Amino acid sequence: MPNVKLIRRAALASALQRAAIFKGLPEEEIIKIARYATRQSLAKGEILFEEGGKVRGFYIVTKGVIKAYRIGESGREQLIHLVHPDESFAEPALVGRMGYPAHTKALEKAEVILIPSDEFLAHLRECPDLSLRILASLSRHLHELVTTIENYKLRDAETRLLHWLIHRCEDGVQSTVVRLSFSKGTLSSELGTRQETLSRILAKLRDAGEIEIDGREITIRDAGSLRQLFAEQLQRRAGKGI
């Protein structure tokens, strides 16, 4: 009879190996993390943690999309970042222990892995490589935050979409295929616009020959042309004082 506990732990270790923060980590270290990590399922719209909440650890998304946000003075949600499968989040809270810096909830049915604080920090003292990985992850988060701030400065949805697409173009490659691992509704949330507005802009770019759309695949036909269009949009908006 198969040992269910061992099977579940092996599946957890496999999910941890796919996570960006742990890629390339020796298998024995992954197995150690799998011994104290736990899975958590979330329904669509379910809150994972709230701003200021007690820090339990950091998380890795294995399914669905997690939205990190704050509540503005008007009571509206202000998007900080969307976290996709194999990405980690809330690592900074490990050190400060002053509470989580934002709210998080599932935008769709999701599953996360909790890496508990106490066990991970003890493990980190035994394995210096983990410290370097946390630093690298914090660097990625800072880069993402800068990109988000840049995006907020772009006032209209079309310019934000162009900015989003350009950041996914491969260097030195004319044509790039962007495969969405989430719905267009989730993308519209990331861009701070409505789904119908996003669909209209995508159709406009398709009709202009800039992109091709096949389900969840967006093919950027000419990255240089898209960058030129983005630059023209910025100039046009600056000229109008938008």
Average confidence (pLDDT) over 16-31: 90
Average confidence (pLDDT) over 194-215: 92
Nearest Cα to Cα of residue 168 among 110, 111, 211:
211
How far apart are alpha carbons 203 and 212 in whole angstroms? 9
Q: Summarize pLDDT for 149-198 with one digit per residue, the tens.
A: 666 566 688 888 998 898 888 777 788 898 887 778 888 877 878 889 99
Query: Would you say residue 223 has pLDDT above 80?
Result: yes
Same-domain check for residues 91 and 163: no
pLDDT band at 47 (very low <50, low <70, confident <90, very high): very high
pLDDT mean across residues, the chain: 85
Query: Can you give the CATH number for the domain in which 127 is found?
Result: 2.60.120.10
Same-domain check for residues 15 and 73: yes
Q: Summarize pLDDT for 48-105 with one digit per residue, the tens.
A: 999 999 999 999 999 999 999 888 777 778 788 889 899 999 987 777 667 898 999 9
Final residue before a domain boundary, out of 142, 170, 202: 142
Query: Can you give the CATH number for the domain in which 205 is found?
Result: 1.10.10.10
DSSP 172: T
Non-local (6+) Cβ contacts of 118 within 8 A are: none
Cα dihedral: 214, 217, 218, 220 (round 10)? -110
Same-domain check for residues 171 and 217: yes
> How far is it between the farthest Cα atoms of the chain?
72
Count of other CB atoms within 10 angstroms of residue 150 = 12
Average confidence (pLDDT) over 132-143: 74
Q: Which domain holds residue 138?
A: 4-142
Same-domain check for residues 98 and 12: yes
Final residue before a domain boundary, out of 113, 142, 171: 142
Query: Would you say residue 136 has pLDDT above 80?
Result: no
pLDDT computed for residue 93 by the predictor: 79
Roughly how many angstroms between the first and final C-alpha of the chain, as a whole number?
67
φ, ψ for residue 220, nearest 5 deg: -85, 110
